[in-house]
Structure 1
């Protein structure tokens, strides 16, 4: 038995594999004693991981990259040997904004280009009327939520730094901020979009899988120096997380998994809401309109747990596009090295040979070419490149 591990997490459904690994006993079976610590904000999780108060963490994938590059905070190299979630975010808008978008839309309301063009029209109407810019909540400057919102808006010419306001809010505070009118919309992970719909104060406009077919969302993160000192512990954590993800994805285990996740000290919401997120069958409007997608959130299936460095490169490219850092060949390598399929494969006793990542696909823009980030970025009309 190793010394007890302290692992931080945010109450989100994509922490499922980590929570189930501990509460179902998969970590104990690997000889690990783990204390899960529930946090509210990503800055708390990042800071406690970086200074060693946490041994590991449920962490935003871009935060792991930013920390390794020294962006926005001190430089602490991070290793991510397991993907806790692929996709899982959604964009939720207030009833007022939803009505405005539907009034302007030309096309399928589930087509992100159609809604982005409708947003551009709403922005122009509000500007002409002298109204305040729309305010969108997202969870962190270095977050998938930030980049997904920006990618969607900018595809129709909406400048996220000039035409709207983007504000940072911890995930559990999104719903109250929408209810109070402090934001007009937000992008957040499950279950908070569903909570807003159930309360009658929001419409889920898009699943992130409408915008990016396969987007790395959260990772199991450890400090690189800690991983180097404790390779056996890292491998044990990966194996426990893989077993938990397999358990969660088993239809016969769904009720038990959701009960575990719904505990007050874990995610702390109704099990039925969590179950919707895990099955991809979500109510998207207060009137009961529902939508189903097998790609809403991937916890373990379709190889979701194995980190893909190409995903890290895309996230780094977004940091460059929006002026958070200049483009650098060395930085690209550093970013891609954060995602560690080698550690994942070693933990499971597998060979990584011949296991390329899934193709990266988005609803707009050119094909992503990790070998030509400059050309990829130059193709976008809206951006804040720092060079």
Structure 2
């Protein structure tokens, strides 16, 4: 089915590449008649570039990056993408250097960090440096929201820098950064190294945090629908396998291989506890998740605030493609999410009101600045 060469799928060394890796290692791709080559990439910018020029057939991708590429807002020419599958719920966390914990304290707020930011400003010291994995990432927007709720302006009061996920612990140990937001296992790896402490998990701050999606270009999806459905079926089976508690130790060993995530298996196994790959409809690409992320992108002026958020969310996130694959496997339907609760807005977030929320959030930020 795959043609003359293997299908080349890109991924980054993170736990939420598990669905692609398990589909390869457990033979789910092969069972669908697919010859798949998994290609580990060095950075999200590389994934963006290779997807845009067709060097990858599909990829494990940051959800905001998929949206930004589709809009031409990620440093590349606009390339409409389609996401027929969500790869995980939960996994991101904010980790701060252990040496700062005595100052900022424990808990789910950044109040202690806000006091430290103010003190450094008064003393004329350098601002706190925090790392995220890519400008268009759930990590950037999660960290920004966490900071902003404590009165910290992420564009003026701290220094935000970009670093590959697998280098976060190294940078924390070396004092290059004082905290970061990244998906597991690199938060748990920093804790295991004694370099950092997790101050808040995405699941505590944005319940059932949306993170990565599997993407292909819209043109590829239209030209090769049978292969796309075969990929989706294989990854749905892999997600169900990865979610089974009886398989978590084996999954950790699989991910620990140097060509995949390359962290210690025991660190990976511990870091999988909060992550969901399939259960409870986690595999379904929910347009409301895309709308929430687009609203954050508009809030921070990272995209044109006049875009039609609902239309973009529905074009990129494709629950219709997911539903075909799930039905073929006899898996239960995943009804569309109508509302997000507990994401920090004063009222529940709805797809139909996403535009208004984004406009209000951006207006408040502009007024405060």
1:159-198, aligned counterparts within 5 Å?
A: 159-198=153-192
Contact 1:82–1:307 (8 Å) recurs in 2: yes
Match of 2:27 among 4, 9, 25: 25
**Secondary structure at 1:181's aligned position in 2?**
coil
* 1:91 matches 2:94: yes
1:29-54 CA-partner distances (Å, limit 9, x unpaired) = 00000000111200101111111111
Contact 2:97–2:179 (8 Å) recurs in 1: yes
* Cα shift at 1:262: 1.3
1:309-364 CA-partner distances (Å, limit 9, x unpaired) = 00000111011100112323535412332111100001222799881226313353
Q: Which residue matches 1:360?
A: 340
1:243-301 CA-partner distances (Å, limit 9, x unpaired) = 111111112222222221111111112111111122x2xxxxxxxxxxxxxxx211111
**Secondary structure at 2:103's aligned position in 1?**
helix
User: Matches of 1:365 and 1:257 in 2, distance apart?
Assistant: 36
**Secondary structure at 2:33's aligned position in 1?**
coil
Unpaired segments ≥5 residues, structure 2 = none
1:372-387, aligned counterparts within 5 Å?
A: 372-377=353-358, 378-379=360-361, 383=365
TM-score by length of 2: 0.93
Contact 1:210–1:363 (8 Å) recurs in 2: no
Unpaired segments ≥5 residues, structure 1 = 103-108, 281-295
* Cα shift at 1:373: 3.2
Match of 2:78 among 75, 80, 86: 75
* 1:312 matches 2:290: yes
What's the C-alpha RMSD, in Å, of the aligned pairs?
Answer: 1.9
* 1:328 matches 2:309: no
Q: Which residue matches 1:2?
A: 2
1:1-387, aligned counterparts within 5 Å?
A: 1-3=1-3, 4-72=6-74, 73-102=76-105, 109-110=106-107, 112=108, 115-278=109-272, 280=273, 296-349=274-327, 355-357=335-337, 359-362=339-342, 364-366=344-346, 367-377=348-358, 378-379=360-361, 383=365
Q: Which residue matches 1:106?
A: none
* Cα shift at 1:381: 7.3
* Cα shift at 1:382: 5.5
1:109-164 CA-partner distances (Å, limit 9, x unpaired) = 33x2xx32222222111111111111110011100000000011111211000111
TM-score by length of 1: 0.89
**Secondary structure at 1:372's aligned position in 2?**
helix
Number of residue-to-residue matches in the alignment: 360
User: Matches of 2:184 and 2:308 in 1, distance apart?
Assistant: 34
Q: Which residue matches 1:286?
A: none
* Cα shift at 1:228: 0.3
User: Matches of 2:123 and 2:25 in 1, distance apart?
Assistant: 54
**Secondary structure at 1:298's aligned position in 2?**
coil
The 3 A distance-change label for structure 1 pair 358 and 40 is farther
User: Matches of 1:364 and 1:207 in 2, distance apart?
Assistant: 14
Contact 1:136–1:167 (8 Å) recurs in 2: yes
Which is further off, 11-20 or 251-260?
251-260
